[in-house]
């Protein structure tokens, strides 16, 4: 199996930066890295949740800092990188994890909603790479984990903005990997995390949605899908299990990081469709598959 780069030393004294660290997967990643003795910089847009999360992770005794950042702002992420360098020096691990859920059927999908979802989920990752990669290239080491989703490999009806953002993050991560290999930057690695259903606050993403961004009025079919998704989340993976898998995958040097096997068959079916030219697996397949 081809690796996502050199195996990373996740030991004491290293520095990890996690975006979207006030909740869910990001918070669990921060807890795990602090537990390994790393300095951890927790970045998030939600100040009150971040303060509480930082206070709790700081009890683990390592160097823990919280920085309020909107990852969709290039300037804010550049400022984050500057602060981290001033406080902790070189960054060993960057997790571009902040993300929001949101979409509407494509014909009714406002440009503002496209902008918000792509701004956080895709541009947030682009800004993170642009701000931190030069320092890693200079020091000749480091690892970047970009959080995508199985939704980047499988399209869902009614979720175009989210699906597109996550497909782009997978593509960006693959391009970065090829560039690092092609330029001989062998000390730097990249991985792309593709979670399935994880029990987090992603279903409450509208808490961080700017006021001017609106979703179309709920229609009954979409509400039913939403109900099914929420029901699916009731049985979803605990985010701490995701963090454990990420740490193990980093130690193994994996590029694609999956959280479970639930989506393995749909992804394989989609890949077979890519090869044969057939249409992708039909809508609803995934939910039927997961909720049966
Ligand atoms: N939970 C799942 O089932 C699932 C599945 C696949 C992928 N993901 C991805 O995992 C990542 C983490 O999400 P989660 O599930 O832990 O959800 P979550 O809502 O619990 O956490 C997301 C965090 O990102 C922060 N955030 C939102 N907008 C931001 C911005 N503009 N700048 C900085 N921070 C911002 C939020 O405040 C929150 O703390 C996301 O990229 C999400 O798309 C989640």
Residue 31, Cβ density class (10 Å: 0-12 exposed, 13-18 middle, ≥19 buried): buried
Mutate to test the pocket of ligand 1, among 25, 228, 230, 235 (most ligand atoms within 8 A of CB): 25
Of 179, 184, 166, residue with least CA distance to 256:
166
Atom of ligand 1 nearest to the CA of 120: 31
Percentage with pLDDT > 90 across the chain: 74
In angstroms, the first-to-last Cα distance of the chain is 32
Written as six digits, the tokens of 108 are: 């009714």
Q: Give the per-residue pLDDT at 217.
A: 56
* pTM, two decimal places: 0.94
Residue with CA closest to ligand 1 atom 25 = 20
In the reported structure, the alpha carbon of residue 276 is separated from the centroid of ligand 1 by a whole-number distance in angstroms of 34
Adjacent-strand bridge partners of 17:
41, 94
Mutate to test the pocket of ligand 1, among 20, 43, 286 (most ligand atoms within 8 A of CB): 20
Residue 2, Cβ density class (10 Å: 0-12 exposed, 13-18 middle, ≥19 buried): exposed
In the reported structure, the alpha carbon of residue 80 is separated from the centroid of ligand 1 by a whole-number distance in angstroms of 18
Q: Give the per-residue pLDDT at 292.
A: 36
Residue with CA closest to ligand 1 atom 42 = 99
Is the Cβ–Cβ distance between 71 and 77 less than 8 Å?
A: yes
Atom of ligand 1 nearest to the CA of 22: 39
Strands (E), the chain: 15-19, 39-44, 64-68, 93-96, 142-147, 188-194, 256-258
Of 63, 71, 68, 175, residue with least CA distance to 116:
71
Strands 93-96 and 256-258: unpaired
Residue 204, Cβ density class (10 Å: 0-12 exposed, 13-18 middle, ≥19 buried): exposed
In the reported structure, the alpha carbon of residue 286 is separated from the centroid of ligand 1 by a whole-number distance in angstroms of 21
Provide the CB-side half-sphere exposure for 139 (13 A, CA): 14
Atom of ligand 1 nearest to the CA of 21: 39
Residue 39: CB within 6 Å of ligand 1? no
Residue 119: CB within 6 Å of ligand 1? no
Is the Cβ–Cβ distance between 99 and 147 less than 8 Å?
A: yes
Of 257, 176, 248, 184, residue with least CA distance to 7:
248
Residue 28: CB within 6 Å of ligand 1? no
pLDDT digits (tens, 9 = 90+) for 192-202: 999 999 999 99
The dihedral sign for the CA sequence 11, 58, 240, 84: negative
In the reported structure, the alpha carbon of residue 100 is separated from the centroid of ligand 1 by a whole-number distance in angstroms of 5
Whether the predicted pLDDT of 289 surpasses 60: no
**Alpha-carbon Rg for the chain in angstroms:** 18
pLDDT digits (tens, 9 = 90+) for 154-213: 988 888 999 999 999 999 999 999 999 999 999 999 999 999 999 999 988 989 999 888
Of 3.40.50.720, 3.40.50.620, 3.30.360.10, 3.40.190.10, the CATH number of 15-291 is 3.40.50.720
Q: Give the per-residue pLDDT at 281.
A: 80
Band (225; pLDDT cuts 50, 70, 90): low
Whether the predicted pLDDT of 228 surpasses 90: no
Whether the predicted pLDDT of 114 surpasses 70: yes
Which residues lie closer than 8 Å to 138 by C-beta, 6 or more apart? Answer: none
Residue 72: CB within 6 Å of ligand 1? yes
Is the Cβ–Cβ distance between 40 and 62 less than 8 Å?
A: yes
Catalytic annotation, residues: 162
In the reported structure, the alpha carbon of residue 97 is separated from the centroid of ligand 1 by a whole-number distance in angstroms of 7
């Amino acid at each position: 199996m081809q690796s996502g780069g050199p195996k990373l030393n996740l030991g004491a004294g290293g520095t990890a930066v996690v975006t979207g660290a006030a909740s869910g997967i990001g918070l669990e990643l921060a807890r795990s890295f602090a537990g390994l003795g790393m300095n951890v910089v927790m970045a998030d847009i939600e100040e009150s949740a971040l303060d509480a999360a930082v206070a709790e992770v700081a009890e683990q005794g390592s160097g823990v800092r919280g920085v309020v950042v909107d990852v969709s702002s290039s300037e804010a992420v550049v400022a984050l990188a500057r602060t981290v360098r001033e406080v902790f020096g070189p960054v060993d691990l960057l997790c571009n994890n902040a993300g929001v859920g949101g979409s509407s059927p494509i014909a009714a999908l406002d440009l503002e909603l496209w902008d918000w979802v792509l701004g956080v989920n895709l541009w947030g990752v682009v800004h993170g790479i642009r701000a931190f990669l030069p320092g890693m290239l200079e020091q000749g080491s480091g690892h970047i984990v970009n959080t995508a989703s199985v939704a980047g490999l499988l399209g869902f009806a009614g979720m175009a903005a989210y699906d597109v953002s996550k497909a782009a993050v997978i593509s960006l991560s693959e391009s970065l990997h090829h560039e690092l290999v092609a330029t001989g930057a062998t000390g730097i690695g990249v991985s792309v995390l593709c979670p399935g259903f994880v029990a987090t606050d992603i279903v409450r993403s509208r808490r961080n949605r700017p006021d001017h961004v609106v979703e179309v009025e709920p229609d009954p079919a979409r509400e039913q899908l939403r109900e099914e998704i929420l029901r699916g989340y009731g049985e979803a993976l605990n985010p701490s299990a995701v963090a454990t898998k990420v740490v193990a995958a980093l130690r193994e040097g994996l590029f694609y990081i999956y959280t479970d096997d639930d989506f393995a068959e749909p992804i394989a079916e989609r890949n077979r469709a890519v090869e044969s030219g057939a249409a992708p697996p039909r809508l609803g397949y995934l939910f039927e598959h997961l909720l049966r």
